Amino acid sequence: MFAFTVKRILQAVVVMLVISFIGFAIKHNFGDPIRDLVGQRVTAAERSEIRDRLGLNDPFPIQYARFLRDALHGDLGQSYFFKKPATEVIVKKAPATLELVFCAAMIIVVLSIPLGIYSAIKPKSLLSRFIMGGSIVGVSMPVFLTAILLIYIFSVELHWLPSYGRGETVLLFGWWDSGLVTLDGIKHLIMPSIALSSIMLPLFIRLIRSEMMEVLESEYVKFAWAKGLKPRRVWLVHAFKNTLLPVITVGGVQLGIMVAFTILTETVFQWQGMGSMFIESVERSDTSLMVAYLVFVGIVFVLVNTLVDIIYGLVNPTVRVAGRQ
Amino acid sequence: MKMSTFKAAGKLSLLALTLLVAALLLVGCGGEEKKEAAEKAEPAAPSKVTLKLAMDADPVSLDPHVQLSGGMLQYAHMVFDPLVRYDKDMNFVPRLAESWERIDDLTMRFHLRKGVKFHSGNDFTAEDVAFTLDRLKKSDDFKGLFEPFVGAVVVDANTVDLVTKKPYGLVLNMATYVFPMDKKFYTGTDDKGKEKDLIIKTDYSFANENESGTGPFVVTSREQGVKTVFTRFADYWNKDTGNVEEIVLSPIKNDATRTAALMSGDVDFVMPVPPQDLDRIKSTEGLSLVTMSGSRIITFQLNQKRNPAFADAKVRLAMAYAYDNQGVVEKIMNGFATAAGQMSPKGYAGHKETLTPRYDLEKAKALMAESGYPDGFEATMIAPNNRYVNDEKISEAFVSMMSKIGIKISLKTMPKAQYWDQFDAMAADIQMIGWHSDTEDSGNFYEFLSMCRNAETGYGQYNSGNYCNAKVDELTLAAQTETDPAKRAADLQEVEQIQYDEAGYIPLHWQNLSWASKSNMNTEAIVNVMNFPYFGDLVIK
């Protein structure tokens, strides 16, 4: 396990270097962040002076080296728009996104498992057909459209749910700004979570269904039936557990896509998380914040993938044997 | 062993999740009941008058001198209050200056209102005006505007002279930018050991996070990009004004969401209204929509140095005749713009009624035949695709209109982050630019967009067409030092006429402005062509 961990850490460092280099190269060629900070009247010479002050006129290698040096000290640069260190801005926005992702993940887990299992066990029933039909619609509808439709139905027409923002939040542990502990906050969470889960949920239902159907055909399930076990035990313990492996793998990979959808969802709901922050930093050419976000997401990815590998090892011990080689 | 733990954990988490979902549903229903109850109880206990306001952006700082932009000026009008401001017809009306008089060619005397307090509790005096003017002259964004000024001379506590280097006709226009700041409050060092009056764009400064103005509202909480709360200033000098006690400003960037927030009742006032939603809001009961022709001109500049064809005045005229301003306004802008034949919008000194858009394809073809390019020619063009309303579609329409007179244009559009570098580099023959005059005066258009390019003086800084006419320069400069309004207007109108006759550039339209609100407030009365709604005057019935 130690060798495995060291290897993973080394891999992670290389990945982070690559991500930071690409991010920084984008930043360098992205456009002038000063334009968004000054009025139309400020002359080219004055803008160049401001760029000088911010070190933006230095050649690429010097800027990148400076970035790496600061990054090693935990400083990912200064957000021009927020006038604060970029890490501080990201950490402040992270709870919003994490809570949204958490709630969406909950919806996916809670709904996809029973629905997937059911439609695998009873593939010909009317309900299964309905679930499968619905999931096709769900997969093919863009998150953007789903979100707007939800707002239109539940906010504009029915006045049930608030249309934008996070509502009332409470500061927990001194830094975690949570919307999960207030009624208003939870009401604000419902539609964005549904929108965010709308692409992934049908995907997982279909995945669980097809994996489960395959497992149900396997020898050991037939053997379990022959032993005279109760159907519930065969389905949930013998069959379902073995469908989980591919589901976890895909789930880990899908996390990246989730981040992309978070950006869309947050934009539509004016959800003040990292996703909308990123899009706005692109629009404002707040390039430092942009790079910091890319690096931050890189770290999250590396961490999650490592975590997925470890969970995988727990669920299926043969993987660990392979890792030890 | 492991298997059973896993199983147990799985069962447990499933159970927990089910409970959570059930709880969520219950909470949702519970909330609904409460809301209804609250609505019923409302008439009994009149609560605080709160305006929930949604704009596409929020002020970037609490320091009014850190950036010159529409958003910052909107903020300054809420929190600081200027010496004078414009009314709906663009006349100057007194605010912190009760009256003013011209002492001599260089000096304008302002008599200040007595008994005005800052949010900090300090008294407002002429010293504060002098302090503010000094600070404006140090600000990257404002120093250009205040360059003509020597400074402010304190006569007594309630009298101040604004002195200019040369005779200057726009002293009052500039006085609308003087939002007095609290000298005592912004003097000294803060707890980080930094000067309190520093103007810093990208990092912490005292003024970026603290304010003390004389305006109708005090900033009581602010989370940048998320929410800003403004509370009515109890000691505001003008008691005979609006009744809003609290403004909660949320920036909502997404157009559809902003409209939905208004339609669902989550906010009371939105600006701007996306053009595609105008009809919906107009036809919704309980909402009112106010629109107005704006003062931002959108133009195409034709680079005479890059493309010799554009040096031929007949070609430029042909292009002006071939462009269908009204058609684009109706079909692409959904009628939400005002077709332009000149730069100056109505109300500006240089506006000339007779200079209307000219669309005449036959005449355009005839002019092309007469020109040195009867068979047409090729040209390159760039435009932004996220800066002005429908900028990309307008550019495409322009390309197809020009193809009718034999001009083949290859168009490239790009996001504004990349666009301005290309614009400055004059990377194409035809370039799009929109301009709002920050002096609310025609002279500003010519100084930046049509005077001959001069790197030393900075004139013609955004004149990527390289249009150059000595008479235009002469008249524009003359207007700068002219203090007689009638004579000034005559000079400026002559400039518009020259540019019209020579087709120095292709004017497209002025973008319209829009505000939408619940209909129980006097929205119409507080909005204006500068797009600074005077929220201090808002009355909610």
DSSP B422-469: HHHTT-SSEEEEEE--TTSSHHHHIIIIISPP-TTT-TTTT-TT----
Alpha-carbon span B102 to B484, nearest angstrom: 12
pLDDT > 70 in chain A, percent = 95
β-pair type (B430-435, B287-302)? antiparallel
A163 contact residues in B (CB cutoff 8 A): 257, 260-261, 264, 266
pLDDT at B469: 93
Helix (H, G, I), strand (E, B) or coil at A12: helix
Helix (H, G, I), strand (E, B) or coil at B403: helix
Portion 232-261 of B in contact with A at CB < 8 A = 250-254, 256-257, 260-261
| Beta-carbon count within 10 A of B10 CB | 16
Of B253, B261, B438, Cβ closest to residue A163 = B261
A85 contact residues in B (CB cutoff 8 A): none
Of B141, B200, B264, Cβ closest to residue A42 = B141
**Does the CB of B9 have a partner CB in chain A at under 8 Å?**
no
The DSSP secondary structure of B303-337, one letter per residue, reads -TTT-GGGGSHHHHHHHHHH--HHHHHHHTSTT-E
Tens digit of pLDDT at every position of chain A (325 positions) = 677 777 777 887 888 889 888 888 888 877 788 888 888 888 888 888 888 888 888 888 888 888 888 888 888 888 989 999 999 999 889 889 989 988 998 899 899 888 888 888 888 888 888 888 888 888 888 888 889 999 999 988 888 999 888 888 888 887 788 888 888 888 899 999 999 998 888 888 888 888 888 888 888 878 877 887 787 877 777 778 778 878 877 777 777 777 778 888 998 999 989 999 998 888 888 888 988 998 888 888 778 777 777 777 676 666 554 444 3
Say how many CB pairs under 8 Å bridge A and B.
Answer: 158
- Asked if A83 lies within 8 A of B6 by C-beta distance, the reply is no
Residues B221 and B228: beta-carbon distance below 8 Å = yes
Residues B283 and B413: beta-carbon distance below 8 Å = no
β-pair type (B287-302, B506-518)? antiparallel
For Cα atoms B100, B105, B108, give the angle at the middle one, nearest 5 degrees. 20
**Does the CB of B382 have a partner CB in chain A at under 8 Å?**
no
The DSSP secondary structure of B67-134, one letter per residue, reads --SHHHHHHHHHHT--SEEE-TTS-EEESSEEEEEEEETTEEEEEEPSS-B-TTSPBP-HHHHHHHHH
pLDDT at A245: 78
**Does the CB of B448 have a partner CB in chain A at under 8 Å?**
yes
Residue B118 exposure: Cα atoms within 13 Å on the Cβ side: 21
**Does the CB of B169 have a partner CB in chain A at under 8 Å?**
no
Q: How far is A186 from chain B (nearest CA, A)?
A: 7
Alpha-carbon span A192 to A98, nearest angstrom: 12
Nearest to B18 by CA among A189, A113, A191, A110: A110
Residue A153 exposure: Cα atoms within 13 Å on the Cβ side: 7
Portion 54-73 of B in contact with A at CB < 8 A = 54, 60-61, 67-69
Beta bridge partners of A48: none
CATH class of the domain comprising B50-62+185-291+514-537: alpha beta
Give the distance, in angstroms, between the CA of residue B336 and the centroid of all CA atoms in the same chain: 17
pLDDT at A261: 85
Structure tokens given for B387: 């800066």
The DSSP secondary structure of B220-241, one letter per residue, reads EEEETTTEEEEEE-TT-S--SS
Of A40, A109, A283, Cβ closest to residue B17 = A109
Of B2, B421, B462, Cβ closest to residue A32 = B421
Say which DSSP state B345 is in.
P
Helix (H, G, I), strand (E, B) or coil at B288: strand
Place of tokens 């880990």: A252
Among chain B residues, the shortest Cα distance to A108 is held by B17
A314 contact residues in B (CB cutoff 8 A): 2
- Asked if B438 lies within 8 A of A164 by C-beta distance, the reply is no
A237 contact residues in B (CB cutoff 8 A): 7
Of B266, B424, B461, Cβ closest to residue A162 = B266
Tens digit of pLDDT at every position of chain B (541 positions) = 333 433 444 444 444 444 444 444 444 433 333 344 444 444 444 578 999 999 998 899 999 999 998 899 999 999 999 999 998 888 899 999 999 999 999 999 999 999 999 999 999 999 999 999 999 999 989 998 999 999 999 999 999 999 999 999 899 999 999 999 999 999 999 988 899 999 998 889 999 999 999 999 999 999 988 899 999 999 999 988 889 999 999 999 989 999 999 999 999 999 999 888 998 999 999 999 999 988 999 999 999 999 999 999 999 999 999 999 999 999 999 888 999 999 999 889 999 999 999 999 999 999 999 998 999 999 999 999 988 989 999 999 999 999 999 999 999 999 888 898 899 999 999 999 999 998 889 999 999 999 999 888 889 999 999 999 999 999 999 998 888 889 999 999 999 999 999 999 999 999 999 999 999 999 999 999 889 999 999 999 8
Among chain B residues, the shortest Cα distance to A29 is held by B418
Sign of the dihedral through C-alpha B435, B437, B441, B446:
negative
From the CA atom positions of chain B, what is the Rg in Å? 27
Helix (H, G, I), strand (E, B) or coil at B217: strand
Alpha-carbon span A171 to B182, nearest angstrom: 33
Nearest to B260 by CA among A264, A162, A145: A162
**Does the CB of B15 have a partner CB in chain A at under 8 Å?**
no
CA distances B283 to B279, B280, B465, Å, are 6, 5, 43
Helix (H, G, I), strand (E, B) or coil at B346: coil
| Domain ranges (residues) in chain B | 50-62+185-291+514-537, 81-176, 294-512
Of A83, A164, A165, Cβ closest to residue B208 = A83
pLDDT at B505: 94
Alpha-carbon span B348 to B510, nearest angstrom: 13
- Asked if A187 lies within 8 A of B28 by C-beta distance, the reply is yes
Q: How far is A14 from chain B (nearest CA, A)?
A: 30
Alpha-carbon span A151 to B266, nearest angstrom: 12
At A164-185, the pLDDT tens digits run: 888 888 888 877 888 888 888 8
Cβ contacts of A43 within 8 Å, gap of 6 or more: B144, B458, B461
pLDDT at B14: 41
For residue B394, the surrounding DSSP H or E stretch is helix B391-403
Mutate to test the interface with B, among A110, A164, A289 (most CBs of B within 10 A): A164
Alpha-carbon span B532 to B87, nearest angstrom: 11
Mutate to test the interface with A, among B194, B200, B201 (most CBs of A within 10 A): B201
Residues B226 and A271: beta-carbon distance below 8 Å = no
Structure tokens given for B286: 């309980």
Instruction: Examine residue B272 and say whether the peptide bond preceding it is cis (omega within 30 degrees of 0).
Output: yes
A186 contact residues in B (CB cutoff 8 A): 24, 27-28
pLDDT at B317: 95
For the entire predicted model, the pTM comes to 0.85
pLDDT at A74: 82
Cβ contacts of A106 within 8 Å, gap of 6 or more: A193, B17, B20, B21
Alpha-carbon span B490 to B478, nearest angstrom: 11
**The domain defined by B294-512 carries CATH number 3.30.70.270:** no
Q: Do domains B81-176 and B294-512 have the same CATH topology?
A: no
Cβ contacts of B119 within 8 Å, gap of 6 or more: B79, B182, B211, B212, B213, B214, B215, B218, B233
Structure tokens given for A293: 């976000």
Amino acid making up residue A268: V
What are the helix (H) ranges across B193-307? 206-209, 255-263, 278-282
- The CB-based long-range contact list for A68-77 (8 Å cut-off, 24+ gap) reads A68/A20, A71/A20, A71/A295, A76/A288, A76/A291, A76/A292, A76/A295, A76/A296, A77/A288, A77/A289, A77/A291, A77/A292
Portion 126-155 of B in contact with A at CB < 8 A = 140-141, 144-145
Place of tokens 């020579």: B502
Give the right CATH number for B81-176 from 3.90.76.10, 1.10.10.10, 3.60.110.10, 3.40.30.10: 3.90.76.10
pLDDT at A127: 87
Alpha-carbon span B250 to A188, nearest angstrom: 15
Portion 384-423 of B in contact with A at CB < 8 A = 386, 415-418, 420-421
Among chain A residues, the shortest Cα distance to B67 is held by A38
Q: How far is A245 from chain B (nearest CA, A)?
A: 13
The DSSP secondary structure of B439-452, one letter per residue, reads TSSHHHHIIIIISP
Alpha-carbon span A149 to B403, nearest angstrom: 41
- Asked if A43 lies within 8 A of B461 by C-beta distance, the reply is yes
Say which DSSP state A195 is in.
H
| Beta-carbon count within 10 A of B480 CB | 17
- Asked if A148 lies within 8 A of B424 by C-beta distance, the reply is no
The DSSP secondary structure of A111-144, one letter per residue, reads HHHHHHHHHHHSTTSHHHHHHHHHHHHHHHS-HH
- The CB-based long-range contact list for A224-227 (8 Å cut-off, 24+ gap) reads none
